[in-house]
């Protein structure tokens, strides 16, 4: 049987694989029923319907390649929740014009154990750098920056 750290690390890898295959159902299966994904700047997607909408947006890309590393998992003493931090690099190629998008950042996750499975309760994406993105609402960046010096 996998340790919580192994199971959570596996979940992070599964997320990358499933999102790169445009498997929205597979990605949703990694999230708790009331799970959320915080893209920053107040853009939080909650629950299966909003998360499905978010993950379906990946279809604007002809290809994506997500990679995680430097994974740190801290399991709470109760053994039922955990927090993780993982470095992220994501490469994308837009269908429309073959332009490229590069994102370097971190996933900050809170996991909850449901039976023998660890599910994402809350994910926050924070970004150190991005290239080729199209910021929204007049912001200088698409993604909320990764805090530095904290």
Give pLDDT tens digits for 2-44: 999 999 999 999 999 999 999 999 999 999 999 999 999 999 9
How far apart are alpha carbons 25 and 129 in whole angstroms?
A: 29
Stated pTM of the model: 0.95
How far apart are alpha carbons 92 and 100 in whole angstroms?
A: 6
The total of other beta-carbon atoms located within 10 Å of residue 97's CB is: 7
Q: Give the pLDDT of residue 150.
A: 63
Of 105, 123, 91, 90, the residue nearest 8 (C-alpha): 123
Token pair of 63 as six digits: 């290809």
Q: Give the pLDDT mean for 132-146.
A: 94
* pLDDT band of 136, cuts 50, 70, 90: confident
Q: Give the pLDDT of residue 148.
A: 86
Give pLDDT tens digits for 41-55: 999 999 999 999 999
């Amino acid at each position: 049987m996998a340790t919580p750290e192994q199971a959570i690390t596996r979940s992070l890898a599964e997320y990358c694989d499933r999102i790169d295959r445009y498997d929205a159902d597979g990605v949703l299966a990694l999230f708790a029923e009331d799970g959320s994904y915080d893209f920053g700047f107040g853009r939080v997607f909650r629950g299966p319907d909003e998360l499905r909408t978010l993950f379906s947006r990946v279809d604007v890309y002809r290809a994506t390649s997500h990679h995680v590393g430097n994974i740190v998992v801290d399991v709470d003493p109760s053994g039922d929740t955990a927090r993780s931090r993982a470095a992220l690099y994501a490469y994308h190629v837009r269908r429309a014009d073959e332009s490229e998008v590069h994102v370097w950042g971190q996933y900050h996750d809170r996991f909850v154990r449901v039976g023998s499975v660890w599910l994402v309760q809350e994910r926050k994406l924070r970004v150190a750098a991005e290239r080729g993105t199209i910021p929204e609402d007049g912001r200088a960046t698409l993604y909320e920056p990764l805090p530095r010096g904290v």
